[in-house]
Amino acid sequence: RGEIEVGIMPSGDARFEGRALYPMSLRAVRPQGHRLGRRPLLEVAELESEPLLLLSRGFASRAWFEAACQIAHVRGRVVLESGAPQTIVALARTGHGIAIVPSPVRIPGDGVRIAPVVHRGTSIGRWTVACWDGRRFFAPYAEFFVKELATSVRRDYPGRDFLRRAPPIPQPRESKS
């Protein structure tokens, strides 16, 4: 409706033009002594019998996880849903299940193991983009803001260290503006 000049969201909405900021992928947080604890990557199929701690519906990462489960013919055993990522991480730390969270979530390393969640070796996720309606006037100050934001997050985007261990997510096509 033209009420917002620039939005920050996962890539893939064809209604908007955008500029890629940083990749986001899913990761599994489980207690240190968990039977899957030493694996560098976790296939979504390996999570079928595990108690899962998931973010509430409405989170993009939840939709990505459910889509991957559907493609892999996996029916997850969800024991808790929460709108607070730190809550499910804390529950995973104390052995109540495996938390599935997006890579930007900050996770203290004590007492947990963290691994990328993949489907057939491919990361599950999307790039985060700064987006705008390409049919409307894009003000020079907004264009400058997007350029500066992209420069800033490329230096230090959320989850950067974690994503070095995950298979890369293809970068979306950049818009001209």
Q: How many CB atoms lie within 10 A of CB 104?
A: 18
DSSP E strands in 16-56: the ranges are 17-31, 42-43, 51-55
pLDDT of 175 reads 63
Q: What's the pLDDT score for residue 163?
A: 65
The whole-chain average pLDDT of the chain stands at 90
Residues of the chain with pLDDT under 50: none
- C-alpha closest to that of 63 among 13, 113, 125, 11: 125
Task: Provide the pLDDT for residue 3.
Answer: 77
For the four alpha carbons of 118, 119, 123 and 129, in that order, the dihedral sign comes to negative
pLDDT for 1 equals 67
Q: Model-level pTM?
A: 0.87
Listing DSSP states for 102-156 in one string gives: ETTS----TTEEEEEEEETTEE-EEEEEEEE-TTS---HHHHHHHHHHHHHHHHS
Q: Provide the 10 A C-beta neighbour count for residue 170.
A: 11
Locus of tokens 């029916």:
75
What pLDDT is recorded for position 173? 75
